[in-house]
Amino acid sequence: MSTIRLLVGLGNPGPEYSQTRHNAGFWLVEAYARQYAVSLQPESKFFGHTARIQRGALDLRLLMPMTYMNRSGQGVAALANFYKIKPEEILVAYDELDLPPGTAKLKTGGGAGGHNGIKDIIAQLGSPDFHRLRIGIGHPGHKSKVTGFVLGKAPALEQSWMDDTIAQACRSVDLLIEQDMRAAQQHLHSFKAQSES
């Protein structure tokens, strides 16, 4: 059984960003909260919206930082310090340009891969040793187009693939908590939304 005590989803606050690809991490945390019928509430001391899920002996906190992407670490570090949560007990969900829509991958540690939210979390926690749930959004093909792409909305078909993937990813979070990283990865990495369309 893996001890995951904090599930973080990355995104940007505000209605103008809610449907944009960069908010894939928010979508996952919102979906996970719905699954357990909890609602995320603003919590100023953690610079975001939080919820708590109790599963047996496990106390799982959910967090969506409301500081904009490049300051994501502020809320993560504040909540982790307050509840004495170690980096290896944190799972961060976020959008990944290097994976196609309809796929997601789990891993532990590593660099920021150019993702500003992850970069700030590593800096604020002083450690890269947290778990990552990377939700594929695809790549626009050229570096110069990335900002517009991540802050844009996906076409309906791609969005449906991402929604399906997030549902599977929620199941993987459960497997990570109930069993281990290997079980969670086996479930998630075998799923491809497009192949079923």
Q: Is 17 annotated as a binding residue?
A: yes
Question: How far is Cα 134 from Cα 22, in angstroms, rounded to an integer?
Answer: 11
Question: How far is Cα 79 from Cα 6, in angstroms, rounded to an integer?
Answer: 9
Q: Which of 22, 49, 115, 131 is catalytic?
A: 22
Measure the CA dihedral 63/66/67/71, to 10°. 30
- Non-local (6+) Cβ contacts of 40 within 8 A are 29, 30, 33, 49, 50, 51, 62, 64
22: annotated active-site residue:
yes
- Non-local (6+) Cβ contacts of 101 within 8 A are 136, 137, 138, 154, 158, 159, 161, 162, 165, 193, 194
Q: Coil, helix or strand for 109? A: coil
Q: Is 83 annotated as a binding residue?
A: no
Binding residues for tRNA: 17, 68, 70, 116
Binding residues: 17, 68, 70, 116
Instruction: Tell me which residues are annotated as active site.
Output: 22
